[in-house]
Amino acid sequence: MTTDTTSSGPIMGDPGPTGRFGDFGGRYVPEALVPACIELEEAFRGAWADSGFRTELDGILRNYGGRPTPVTVCGRLSDQLGVRVLLKREDLAHTGSHKLNNVVGQGLLARRMGKHKLIAETGAGQHGVATATAAALFGMECTVYMGEIDTRRQELNVFRMELLGATVVPVTSGSRTLKDAVNEAMRSWVASVADTHYCLGSVMGPHPYPWMVREFQRVIGDEAREQCRDLLDGGDPDVVVACAGGGSNAAGIFAGFADDTSSELVAVEAAGGAAVTTGIPGILHGMRSALIQDEEGQILEAESISAGLDYPGIGPEHAHLADLGRARYVAAGDEAVLEAFQLLARTEGILPALESSHALAWVVAASASGELPAGSSVLINLSGRGDKDVAQVRDILRGRA
């Protein structure tokens, strides 16, 4: 049954066959891709209603992926900030981030559809690594498109993908970052749709991707809600915070708290790519969403210290959540992110991904300003580990010495 997410249904429910979240979403693709998107939607609806599919997915995520990931109470950091900080530890999942939840689901779906090749885009490389991992697990071919700039600042992840058997294609067009990697992946999909599945990594793109990816990532929020109730005497956190580029990790954790809780939802974008706080509605990569663009509608280049947030838009459901007022969208700058990266390492012995450090940076600033009242409970989705960013951070900090 299709749920009307604009009336009495769940806030983060089924957008229906049009793929609309309020004024956002949809399916803006070349005519050649319309049948592929429809085929994918039908396949996903069938699989998601199939208990056998769900059981197999849960089993792989548990026995191969390491789920459930824990929620960690950060005692020393909490004492320093004056708020109770809890981390949902997606950094402890296999491959080092939340990305595996989605790619295992899409890999199983591709196999169900009779596809034997996976293509993907990646920025920070974590989605590429996860896709290459799933391809190896399921015996599929894998090609990953990655902006040339990102291949240099994430060399370790490029090598990891190659070790896993994937072909990494550097994209030299445009800004040579994530936006251009998506462009190339979509072009490749048009030419190879008969035997290839495009394993899109975030809650963006044409319907059904924003909804499908959110549902595969919903496991984060469902787990976290139960875990937090054990830690908070049956209550929910006052605030749930996640970084947001396309926004899959934020959508995943928000899905566990958007309905039936009073938890405030806060998504933290990169200051140089703050689509919700500075953008306007437009169409890109098959969706209508909030995008950073000039007065003539030309998409502007996003800038971020983190390759995974270097995207000029956000998923359409996030734009809708902002319109509804159910989630709040803020931004963090590179300096604050670097400081947060180091702070968590020194207080808790945890290296967060630069992407996740955006969420932590906002919590640090909000606790200092009083925006977060003393004693508040704050759940941060630590979407990935920082090993991939250590060389980049080292070079930045040594360059200042």
Q: What are the residue boundaries of the structural domains of the chain, listed by start?
A: 20-60+98-209, 67-97+218-400
On the question of a common fold for 20-60+98-209 and 67-97+218-400, the answer reads yes
Q: What is the pLDDT of residue 8?
A: 63
Structure tokens at 262: 């009073």
In 102-211 the beta strands, taken as DSSP E runs, fall at 117-122, 141-147, 167-171, 196-198
pLDDT (0 to 100) of residue 3: 36
Write down the catalytic residue from 37, 74, 228, 243.
Answer: 74
Q: Coil, strand or helix: which one is 12? A: coil
Short-list 41, 96, 31, CA closest to 249: 96
| 3-state DSSP assignment of residue 130 | helix
Q: Which pLDDT tens digit goes with each residue over 51-106?
A: 999 999 999 999 999 999 999 999 999 999 999 999 999 999 999 999 999 999 99
CA distance 200 to 182: 8
Catalytic residue among 37, 94, 98, 228: 98
In residues, how long is the chain? 401
Cα separation of 240 and 261, whole Å? 11
> Which are the contacts of 366, defined by CB distance < 8 A and separation ≥ 6?
372
**Which amino acid is residue 395, in one-letter code?**
D
With a cut of 60, say whether residue 266 has pLDDT above it: yes
120 and 153 Cβ atoms separated by less than 8 Å: no
Identify the H or E element spanning 194.
none
pLDDT digits 0-9 by tens, 184-241:
999 999 999 999 999 999 999 999 999 999 999 999 999 999 999 999 999 999 999 9
pLDDT one-digit tens code per residue, 13-50: 999 999 999 999 999 999 999 999 999 999 999 999 99
- Rounded Cα gap, residues 126 and 96, in angstroms: 8
DSSP state of 315: -
135 vs 126, 150, 375, CA distance in Å? 14, 22, 45
H helices, E strands: number in the chain: 15, 14
CB 178 within 8 A of CB 123: yes
Distance CA 18, CA 229 (A): 36
- Per-residue pLDDT for 1 more than 50? no
Domain 20-60+98-209, CATH class in plain words:
alpha beta
pLDDT band at 110 (very low <50, low <70, confident <90, very high): very high
Unique residue bearing structure tokens 């200092």: 368
The pLDDT value recorded for residue 401 is 56
Tell me, yes or no, if 285 is annotated catalytic: no
Respond yes or no on whether the N-terminal peptide bond of residue 373 is cis (omega within 30° of 0). Answer: no
The average pLDDT across 303-330 equals 96
- Are 54 and 112 in contact, with CB atoms under 8 Å apart? no
Q: Are 71 and 89 in contact (CB under 8 A)?
A: yes
| Preceding omega of 170 cis (within 30 degrees of 0) | no
At which residue do the structure tokens 């949902």 appear? 88
74 is an active site residue: yes
- Fold classified for 67-97+218-400: Rossmann fold (3.40.50)
- The DSSP secondary-structure symbol of 375 reads T
pTM: 0.96
